[in-house]
């Protein structure tokens, strides 16, 4: 069954993050100088069915969360791609200089990241939609109370000057749809029947009745499935509270759904159908299947207790981000098989470009403080549950 899907686009990256030619297109493209890949204008892009977008990792540009892809400017670029009837491929650069170099060499069609283009490059490159994208990011900076959203200088997206049709098409589209950017960049969970689910969450008490040994109304479900992943059922309950506060109808702002906040792709992969995702038992069943897969992923970690920390972290951030932090832990002399005081130290740095742009990092930016807090909160609540509620 096809589960709810996040409205978005595709992203492709070379296996293992190795440096590879960004793309190979069919014959018939524009002539390229020696050492350059062919570049294309709007007609060739439409014929090829793919718009190659250059951007950087960051909260307003592009990032991965639990196997799905987000970022305001990425999502806006997806909407433009839909308007011309093509898909999107993202090529992530490490800096503005890197993006500009890739665009000049033909490794992408446009930069979908608000940058200030120096006058020295304006013969070869053209800024597009500066007023529109700057106004959107300014409004987001005010709304989020975070100046990191605000671009510096006369920021705009960028295309090559020898792609005038793409330049005109993008400029016209941005002018017509600038007022819609907020909606384009808002995550929506939509069913195959067309229903859109708005974010919601009802908060319950962390312990329903300690005297009776009852954590929640879902205790029987936690007990039924926890054994299949060899967890204490109270640990599963602690995770469920962290995810949804025991609300089986919860939908997050990132599109996660149900008691255990399954992302659409994860739920689909774990066999949870669209008509089951808000059923407590089906959602927990899918979550436990995912936990088992993460347990296998981290099977090289000998300590079962340590492995729980990595499973929780990967459930929150995705295993790719956790694996990146483990790689950095090795680099900086920390133990990659221990969480507290070791891998968590690097996780906390994963929202800093100095760290997420390092060559060992294959999945880029993420809010490591959220993941660190997630693991600590669940471990703490589990300890509380073990003090207040008997195991069986």
Active site residues: 243
Q: At residue 213, what are phi and psi to the nearest 5 degrees?
A: 70, 30
Let me know: does 146 contact 105? Beta carbons within 8 Å: no
| Structure-block tokens of residue 76 | 């806006």
Let me know: does 378 contact 312? Beta carbons within 8 Å: yes
Q: In whole angstroms, give the CA distance from residue 8 to residue 376.
A: 32
Q: In whole angstroms, give the CA distance from residue 6 to residue 264.
A: 7
By 3-state DSSP, what share of the chain in percent is helix, strand and coil, each rounded to 5?
A: 45, 15, 40
Angle at 71 between CA 283 and CA 137, to 5 degrees: 135
Q: In whole angstroms, give the CA distance from residue 60 to residue 70.
A: 9
Let me know: does 219 contact 233? Beta carbons within 8 Å: yes
Let me know: does 318 contact 65? Beta carbons within 8 Å: yes
| CA proximity to 170, closest of 10, 46, 72 | 46
Q: Beginning with the edge strand found earlier in the chain, give each strand of the sheet holding 125-128 in spatial order.
A: 87-93, 50-56, 110-116, 155-160, 125-128
- Tokens 């709007």 sit on residue: 42
| Structure-block tokens of residue 106 | 């033909």
Question: Which residues are paired to 190 by β-bridges?
Answer: 5, 196
Helix pair angle (304-317, 280-297), 10° resolution: 120
């Amino acid at each position: 069954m096809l589960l709810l899907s996040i409205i978005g686009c595709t992203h492709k990256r070379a296996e293992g993050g190795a440096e590879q030619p960004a793309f190979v297109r069919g014959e018939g493209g524009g002539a390229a100088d020696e050492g350059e890949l062919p570049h294309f204008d709007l007609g060739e892009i439409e014929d090829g069915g793919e718009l190659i977008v250059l951007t950087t990792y960051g909260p307003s540009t592009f990032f991965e969360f639990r196997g799905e892809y987000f970022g305001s400017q990425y999502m806006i670029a997806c909407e433009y791609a839909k308007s011309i009837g093509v898909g999107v491929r993202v090529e992530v650069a490490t800096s503005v200089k890197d993006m500009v170099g890739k665009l000049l060499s033909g490794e992408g069609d446009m930069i979908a990241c608000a940058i200030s283009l120096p006058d020295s490059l304006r013969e070869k490159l053209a800024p597009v939609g500066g007023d529109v994208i700057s106004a959107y990011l300014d409004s987001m900076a005010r709304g989020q109370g975070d100046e990191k959203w605000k671009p510096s200088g006369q920021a705009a997206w960028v295309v090559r000057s020898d792609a005038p049709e793409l330049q005109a098409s993008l400029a016209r589209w941005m002018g017509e749809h600038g007022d819609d950017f907020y909606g384009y960049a808002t995550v929506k969970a939509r069913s195959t029947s067309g229903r859109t689910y708005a974010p919601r969450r009802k908060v319950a008490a962390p312990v329903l009745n300690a005297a009776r040994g009852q954590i929640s109304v879902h205790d029987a479900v936690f007990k039924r499935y926890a054994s299949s992943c060899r967890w204490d059922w109270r640990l599963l309950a602690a995770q469920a509270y962290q995810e949804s506060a025991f609300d089986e109808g919860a939908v997050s702002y990132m599109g996660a759904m149900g008691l255990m906040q399954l992302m659409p792709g994860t739920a689909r992969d774990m066999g949870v159908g669209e008509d089951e995702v808000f059923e407590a038992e089906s959602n927990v069943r899918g979550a436990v299947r995912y936990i088992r897969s993460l347990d296998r992923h981290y099977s090289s970690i000998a300590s079962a207790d340590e492995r729980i920390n990595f499973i929780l972290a990967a459930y929150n951030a995705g295993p790719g981000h956790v694996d990146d932090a483990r790689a950095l832990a090795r680099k900086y002399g920390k133990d990659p098989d221990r969480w507290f005081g070791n891998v968590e130290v690097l996780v906390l740095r994963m929202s800093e470009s100095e760290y997420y742009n390092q060559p060992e990092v294959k999945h880029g930016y993420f809010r490591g403080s959220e993941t660190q807090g997630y693991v600590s909160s669940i471990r703490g609540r589990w300890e509380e549950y073990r003090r207040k509620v008997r195991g069986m």
